[in-house]
A and B are shown apart, each in its own frame.
Chain A
């Protein structure tokens, strides 16, 4: 067999991948470091992906997501200017609330997905690491009027995810247990001016904590000292989000997929559906009215073999009807699972399909997402 993982570990140290401020802590905790989106990050710790995944489902897991981009938009025209680039209703976004959105291109394709929150006189954006340079260039080139963009490079981002996350974080920051899913508010933790959102990428209750870089390691250590908390790496982050049916940019969504095809129309609020006014709005509005030719769906293999990204999907007649965009094994589900795109006529729940795994047709079925129910705190 080929141990590609091993090769990647060497790459991570040799290729000049950037380090987050928690890099030394990851090493101390025995993290297996791999390159990801230009950063050297732990794919797992000694406990392993399965245990780290269960940690997030059953207690609380701590993830370093400092590689993600944090951006501040200020200025009188910030809301209208950003609405011209994303299909979210930002004028209707209340103070301290957050929305999931995406930058679209003129064809209605997705340039990146992101979180946007209203911080009063500024908007707080969190974007993907792999896209952040392109996103910032896109924003700088296209934001019109009185808007100032600042990349918040002096901040780290720590995710605390799991059913015990609220109990744990409330010990350090009393009051955070009252935040609702998708609230995003400034909170002081041990003298560190943090920005805490009750959200995440696991399907569990939890928080993402934007913390000044200089205070990040102390906060991470303080959280890890709690009995319910253990560190988790990129591997568990991926299996958790897949069970939760959440898209990974560059895999499940990209410039070739529209929000309608990706089944993300819930993130386009009513006013924006009607008014448009974002790149590719005509394409998206036409698909909203008439439907799209394909759709992102959940896929459950009937056997135990995982269906990986790129696996071809066929109908009963052996015709290609789509492909897998994310696939693997769900530790909580206890079996293989995948997401992919299929022709809309075959996107109904229960539709049987064949996945071509290593030249063999493996039966699978279209299933509803998420695979594991979300456990968000809605107050």
Chain B
């Protein structure tokens, strides 16, 4: 049974076996405003937990997206190249950024669940 987890940097992670799908939270897209460009990682790129994995640009500014865990990029959401606004309209669904193979699934288990993340952003 997979459960959505959140980082303190506002990425969400959905795990299925040793694979994870990553995006940014609804709260994050609200704070960023209109997204105009997403720079996705190359497939096969090695990711390190807490290090830059992608870049999201709003009208105003560029923000880095960090890898929620160690692993390797398996797929990216090509639809964001033509329609970056999907991150605003469906941040935790169709606006996903990339899928990754996890080196150590326990790194995700220690992240916040939805209730904890909600408390975190209301903090």
Q: Is the CB of A1 within 8 A of B9?
A: yes
A308 to B57, CA, bound (A): 10
Interface residues of A in 168-210 (CB under 8 A from B): none
A49 contacts B66, C-beta separation under 8 Å: no
Closest CB-CB distance, B12 to chain A, in whole Å?
A: 11
* Given contact pairs A6-B31, A44-B33, A235 touches B9 in the complex (Cβ within 8 A): no
A308-B63 contact given A1-B28, A49-B33, CB 8 Å threshold? no
Contacts of A31 in B (CB 8 A): none
- With both chains docked as a complex, state the minimum distance between the C-beta of A27 and any C-beta of chain B, in angstroms: 18
The answer to whether B65 touches A329 (Cβ under 8 A) is: no
Q: Within 8 Å of chain B (Cβ to Cβ): is A222? A: no
A residues 224-260 touching B (CB-CB < 8 Å): 235, 238-239
Cβ-defined partner of A329 (8 Å) among B10, B55, B59, B66? B59
Q: B55 contacts which chain A residues (CB < 8 A)?
A: 358
Instruction: For the complex formed, measure the closest distance between the CB of A244 and the CB atoms of chain B, giving whole angstroms.
Output: 15
Contacts of A336 in B (CB 8 A): 36-37
Q: Are A3 and B37 in contact (CB under 8 A)?
A: no
B113 within 8 A of A: no
A43 at the interface (CB under 8 A from B): yes
Whole-angstrom distance between the alpha carbons of A305 and B39 in the complex? 8
- A306, CB-defined interface residue at 8 Å: yes
Provided the pairs A49-B34, A304-B37, A306-B36 are in contact, do residues A328 and B64 lie with their beta carbons within 8 angstroms?
Answer: no
In the complex, which range does the number of interface residues on chain B fall in? 20 to 34
B59 lies within 8 A of A50 (CB):
yes
Contact A2 B64 (CB under 8 A): yes
Q: Is A4 close to B, CB under 8 A?
A: yes
Question: In angstroms, how far is the closest chain A Cβ from the Cβ of B54?
Answer: 9
- Report yes or no: A3 in contact with B31, Cβ–Cβ below 8 A: yes
For residue A363, CB closer than 8 A to chain B, the reply is no
Cross-chain contact A43 with B37 (CB below 8 angstroms): no
Q: Within 8 Å CB of A331, what residues of B?
A: 34, 59
Q: Does B11 contact A (CB under 8 A)?
A: yes
Q: Sort chain A's interface into a size bin.
A: 20 to 34
Q: Which of B30-73 contact A (CB under 8 A)?
A: 31-34, 36-37, 39, 55-66
Is the CB–CB distance between B34 and A48 below 8 Å?
yes
Q: Which residues of A contact B58 (CB under 8 A)?
A: 49
- B63 cross-chain contacts in A, Cβ below 8 A: 1-4
Q: Is the CB of A4 within 8 A of B37?
A: no
Given the complex of chains A and B, what is the CA–CA distance between A1 and B58 in angstroms?
Answer: 13
Q: Does B81 contact A (CB under 8 A)?
A: yes
- Once A1-B28, A1-B63, A235-B59 are accepted as A-B contacts, the answer to whether A329 and B9 lie under 8 Å apart by CB is no
Q: A residues within 8 A CB of B61?
A: 4-5, 308
Does B28 lie within 8 Å of A3, measured CB to CB? Answer: yes
Shortest Cβ distance from B53 into chain A, in angstroms?
Answer: 10
* Beta-carbon contact of B33 and A306 below 8 Å: no
Which residues in B have their C-beta under 8 angstroms from that of A44? 33
For A329, the closest partner residue in chain B by CB is B36
Chain A 324-372 residues near chain B, CB threshold 8 A: 328-329, 331, 336, 358
Inside 8 A of A238's CB, which chain B residues have their CB? 60
Per-residue contact bits, chain A 105-142, to B (CB 8 Å; 1 contact, 0 not): 00000000000000000000000000000000000000
Contacts of B37 in A (CB 8 A): 304-306, 329, 336
A336 to B10, CA, bound (A): 26
Contact of A358 with B39 in the complex, beta carbons under 8 Å:
yes
- Residues A1 and B33 in contact, CB atoms below 8 Å apart: no
Are A328 and B56 closer than 8 Å at their CB atoms? no
Q: Is the CB of A50 within 8 A of B57?
A: no
In addition to A1-B64, A2-B64, 18 A-B residue pairs with Cβ atoms within 8 Å of each other are A1-B10, A1-B24, A1-B66, A2-B9, A2-B63, A4-B61, A5-B32, A6-B31, A50-B33, A50-B59, A238-B60, A304-B36, A305-B37, A305-B57, A306-B37, A306-B57, A329-B37, A331-B59
A-B contact pairs, 22 of them (CB 8 A): A1-B64, A1-B65, A3-B28, A3-B63, A5-B60, A5-B61, A48-B34, A49-B33, A49-B58, A49-B60, A50-B33, A50-B59, A238-B60, A304-B81, A305-B37, A306-B57, A306-B62, A308-B62, A329-B57, A329-B59, A331-B34, A358-B39
- Using a CB–CB cutoff of 8 Å, the interface residues on chain A facing chain B are 1-6, 43-44, 48-50, 53, 235, 238-239, 304-306, 308, 328-329, 331, 336, 358
Instruction: Give 8 closest A-B pairs by Cβ, nearest first.
Output: A329-B36, A50-B34, A49-B59, A1-B63, A3-B31, A1-B65, A329-B59, A304-B37
